């Protein structure tokens, strides 16, 4: 029998459609639901009890909502209009209530007849529509509705206590229509194959998958919902962790050249010239890395640390260890500014040890070369030659390192700075340049909570640097509410002048460059109800620099820096700023990572509400890098009660990046964690919340590691293999393969 398994049955097909073709089309286009299985895994967002309903008082503006409420009254008005000049226009106004608040519904024209007959006072129904404001009152215009009629046999109590699933819906398909479609296919849930091994499921007291699907879509009690959610969370965590465990297992089978530093080589000479001692954290993490480098399978390590915790120093020592052992090391940076900055600081830290083959170079020395896309042809040829012959032990560059022309003599270690900016393909291309797979060290300055690291980078071992080197100064952060208190902004510019008068420098950061043409389409889309401030375009570097030079910072040397400048100009601006010739640098986020000017003590971030939490934390890390205390001022026009202001308050209140990244994640949707940025595929997480469900993720990882160790190909677990194939569609599979 060549039948398609019931759950893989397409929702839309020519001969027999599971649903009506129009409904199936909307589900595919707007919700990404293509098969019966997809529809069964489209879980309710929440549940309404008919007795105690949505708080009408808390409805969000401009959003599509579903509410369950009772009609309080209904009035039909007639009026004259252009279409109905003789006073024949009709408008039905219905007021509904749920005990917490009231909401007005309006219907016009021919659309009034049906609701006028059906929506009588006392009637209960589900209403769906977009919340708008008319005459300062919330209303739904022409909402779709579904009457809730209790079965004659049903007692009032059971009817009022029934749980109504509310599904993630769209304007084109209301929640109850999705619910009806799911009820149509719910019998096939019996055929769902269970990915969890029986021993695991029984050992943890989880209900079987068919039962979980029935309970989540048609719960009788709140306990049913709890049972279903516990089970479905385990599915998501376990299948994802199996995918990552298989990848760790496969990596462990690859051969690599062990790289042990020579006893009195380059690393020893480098350590001897350091003017300070490494922090305990740096020594501990270095030991973890050296242990990995000494093994005969490739290291895969994530090095995460606070802004300014000295990650670059740890990475440089790892690179020197590999050069000592006869290999080469490559560091991949996301921007030219950053690559040049890394190159400059590495050469400075190494001194004569970076002058291999040159007069005055030490005998242990190697060459450190820079390779970026905008280098001149002669310099580029020279750098490529040094890499091929092995004369250059260390190369620092942008994605120019990945091009086919670039050949290494013996690539032993790849260090990727700022992981989230590099596509998986780019890392893969660089790793492919070794004779055998090189060791890999990924650095990120955005601290990631442990569970997220386990979920997103579960194939990497993690090292954390959480103490700052001695001599780093504290950074004071304050929110400057420019709209509520304009004099605070004036005071901010006075503070910048004071820092400059004391011999220091400052950054001013803006969200936009200002030379781009305003796209009318983009501005038309803006409709955040949060505040009027959203209606103007974000502040731009070129405008702000101009206003400051002619206004509050008149007489100071102000320069601009942004991503569209020619690389040589960018480098020249950074050099002048680093040398102290420029007082104030007005820049975009190109300064977000790696820029190190210890004399810069103040930073003013304009329109700070337009940046993410981790981005603000990164930016703030550019000040307070010397012995003088740092100051970071977050300027915003958002009103005090807005979520944006609360977010800025959180950033101002703590310097702990791990704490901030938790706040960031709790405020953003889960999809951003595993979404486009990480895997190039839609998130697979529907019920698992990476911050709340830490324990499940940790336990699932242990279980998955044990399962894969015993049966790497999952030969004895065909159902798990099927679930894995569903999670890893081709795009994701490639992502996981490449790492």
pLDDT of residue 593: 57
On whether the CB atoms of residues 556 and 583 are closer than 8 A, the answer is: yes
pLDDT digits (tens, 9 = 90+) for 587-598: 988 776 556 788
Structure tokens at 343: 């190159």
Q: Whole-prediction pTM value? A: 0.68
Structure tokens at 549: 């030079």
Is it the case that residue 197 has pLDDT exceeding 80? yes
Structure tokens at 101: 């608040």
In three-state secondary structure terms, 600 is strand
pLDDT digits (tens, 9 = 90+) for 287-341: 999 999 999 999 988 888 876 778 889 999 999 999 999 999 999 888 887 888 8
Q: What is the SS3 assignment for 304-328?
A: EECCCCCHHHHHHHHHHHHHHCCCE
pLDDT digits (tens, 9 = 90+) for 78-107: 877 666 666 677 889 999 887 767 888 999
Which residue shows structure tokens 């640097």?
A: 465
Average pLDDT value for residue range 669-691:
53
Read off the pLDDT band of 549 (50, 70, 90). Answer: very high
Pairwise CA distance, residues 418 & 377, whole Å: 28
Share the mean pLDDT of the chain: 81
Structure tokens at 113: 């007849």
pLDDT of residue 567: 80
Q: Which among 95, 163, 156, 152 has a CA at the least distance from the CA of 127? A: 95
pLDDT of residue 525: 44
Q: What is the SS3 assignment for 202-224?
A: HHCCCCCHHHHHHHHHCCCCHHH
Choose the weakest-confidence range: 100-104, 148-152, 196-200, 607-611: 148-152
Give me the percent of the chain exceeding a pLDDT of 70: 80
In three-state secondary structure terms, 533 is helix
Q: Cα(first)–Cα(last) distance of the chain, in Å?
A: 39
Read off the pLDDT band of 190 (50, 70, 90). Answer: confident
Q: Which among 438, 407, 414, 440 has a CA at the least distance from the CA of 256? A: 438
Residue 106's beta-bridge partner residues? 93, 141
Under the phi-then-psi rule, with left for phi > 0, alpha for psi from -120 to 50, and beta for the rest, what region is 297? beta
Q: Which among 33, 126, 21, 96 has a CA at the least distance from the CA of 686? A: 33
pLDDT of residue 557: 94
Exposure of 300 in the CB half-sphere (CA atoms within 13 A): 23
Strand 144-147 versus strand 124-134 pairing type = antiparallel
Q: DSSP states of 38-79 as a string?
A: HHHT---SEEEESSS---GGGPPTTSEEEEEEEEEEEEEEEE
pLDDT digits (tens, 9 = 90+) for 619-667: 888 888 877 889 999 999 888 878 788 889 989 988 877 778 777 776 6
Phi then psi for residue 132, to 5 deg, are -135, 175
Neighbours of 504 (CB within 10 A): 22
Read off the pLDDT band of 709 (50, 70, 90). Answer: very high
Average pLDDT value for residue range 357-372:
77
Pairwise CA distance, residues 647 & 158, whole Å: 43
As a whole number of Å, the CA-based R_g of the chain is: 30
Choose the weakest-confidence range: 178-187, 264-273, 388-397, 530-539: 530-539
Q: Any residues with CB less than 8 A from the CB of 29 and at least 6 apart, and which?
A: none
Beta-strand ranges (E) seen in 135-265 are: 137-141, 144-147, 163-166
CA angle 483, 553, 608 (to 5 degrees): 40
H or E element in which residue 535 lies: none
Pairwise CA distance, residues 319 & 415, whole Å: 8
Read off the pLDDT band of 181 (50, 70, 90). Answer: confident
Phi then psi for residue 72, to 5 deg, are -90, -45
pLDDT digits (tens, 9 = 90+) for 431-487: 778 788 899 898 877 677 766 776 666 777 888 887 766 667 778 999 999 888 889
């Amino acid at each position: 029998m060549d039948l398609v398994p019931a759950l893989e049955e397409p929702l839309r097909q020519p001969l027999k459609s599971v649903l009506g073709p129009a409904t199936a089309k909307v589900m595919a286009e707007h919700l990404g639901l293509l098969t019966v299985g997809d529809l069964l895994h489209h879980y309710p967002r929440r549940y309404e009890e008919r007795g105690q309903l949505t708080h009408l008082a808390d409805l969000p503006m401009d959003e599509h909502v579903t509410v369950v409420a009772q009609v309080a009254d209904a009035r039909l008005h007639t009026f004259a209009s252009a279409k109905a000049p003789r006073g024949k226009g009709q408008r039905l106004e219905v007021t509904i209530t749920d005990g917490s608040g009231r909401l007005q519904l309006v219907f016009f024209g021919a659309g009034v007849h049906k609701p006028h007959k059906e929506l009588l006072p006392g009637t209960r129904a589900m209403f769906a529509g977009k919340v708008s404001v008319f005459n300062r009152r919330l209303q739904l215009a022409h909402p779709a509705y579904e009457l809730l009629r209790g079965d004659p046999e049903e007692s009032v109590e059971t009817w009022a206590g029934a749980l109504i699933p509310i599904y993630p819906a769209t304007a084109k398909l209301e929640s109850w229509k999705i619910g009806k479609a799911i009820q149509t296919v719910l019998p096939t849930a019996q055929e769902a194959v269970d990915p969890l091994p029986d021993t695991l499921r029984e050992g943890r007291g989880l209900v079987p998958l068919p039962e979980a699907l029935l309970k989540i879509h048609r719960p009788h009690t709140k306990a049913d919902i709890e049972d279903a959610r516990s089970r479905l969370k385990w599915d998501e965590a376990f299948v994802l962790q199996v995918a990552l465990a298989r990848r760790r297992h496969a990596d462990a089978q690859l051969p690599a050249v062990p790289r042990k530093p020579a006893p009195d080589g380059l690393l020893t000479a480098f350590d001897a010239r350091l003017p300070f001692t490494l922090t305990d954290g740096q020594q501990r993490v270095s030991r973890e890395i050296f242990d990995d480098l000494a093994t005969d399978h490739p290291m895969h390590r994530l090095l995460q640390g606070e802004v300014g915790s000295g990650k670059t120093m740890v990475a440089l020592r790892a690179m020197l260890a590999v050069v000592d052992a006869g290999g080469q090391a490559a560091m991949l940076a996301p921007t030219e500014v950053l690559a040049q900055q890394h190159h400059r600081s590495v050469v400075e830290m190494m001194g004569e040890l970076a002058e291999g083959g040159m007069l005055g170079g030490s005998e242990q020395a190697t060459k450190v070369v820079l390779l970026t896309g905008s280098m001149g042809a002669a310099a580029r040829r020279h750098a490529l030659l040094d890499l091929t012959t092995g004369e250059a032990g260390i190369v620092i560059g942008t994605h120019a390192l990945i091009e086919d022309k670039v050949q290494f003599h013996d690539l032993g270690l790849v260090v990727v700075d700022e992981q989230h900016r590099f596509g998986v393909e780019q890392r893969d291309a660089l790793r492919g340049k070794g004779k055998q797979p090189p060791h890999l060290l990924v650095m990120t300055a955005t601290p990631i909570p442990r569970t997220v690291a386990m979920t997103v980078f579960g194939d990497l071992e993690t090292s954390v640097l959480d103490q700052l080197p001695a001599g780093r100064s504290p950074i004071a952060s304050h929110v400057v509410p420019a709209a509520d208190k304009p004099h605070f902004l004036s005071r901010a510019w006075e503070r910048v002048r004071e820092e400059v008068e004391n011999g220091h420098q400052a950054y001013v950061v803006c969200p936009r460059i200002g030379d781009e043409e305003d796209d009318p389409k983009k501005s038309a889309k803006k409709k955040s109800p949060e505040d009027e401030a959203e209606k103007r375009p974000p502040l731009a570097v070129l405008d702000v620099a101009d206003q400051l030079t002619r206004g509050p910072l008149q007489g100071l040397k102000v320069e601009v820096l942004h991503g569209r400048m020619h690389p040589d100009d960018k480098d020249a601006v950074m050099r002048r700023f680093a040398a102290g010739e420029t007082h104030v640098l007005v820049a975009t986020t190109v300064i977000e990572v790696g820029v190190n000017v210890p004399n810069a003590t103040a930073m003013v971030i304009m329109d700070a509400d337009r940046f993410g939490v981790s981005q603000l934390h990164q930016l703030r890390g550019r000040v307070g890098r010397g012995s003088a205390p740092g100051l970071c001022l977050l300027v915003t026009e958002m009103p005090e009660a807005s979520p944006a202001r609360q977010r800025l308050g959180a950033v101002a209140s703590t310097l702990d990046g791990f704490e901030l990244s938790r706040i960031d994640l709790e405020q953003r949707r889960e999809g951003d964690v595993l979404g486009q940025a990480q895997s190039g595929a839609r998130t697979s997480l529907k019920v698992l919340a990476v911050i709340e469900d830490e324990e499940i993720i940790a336990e699932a990882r242990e279980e998955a590691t044990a399962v894969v160790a015993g049966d790497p190909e999952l030969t004895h677990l065909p159902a798990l293999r099927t679930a894995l194939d569903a999670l890893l569609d081709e795009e994701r599979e490639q992502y996981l393969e490449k790492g």
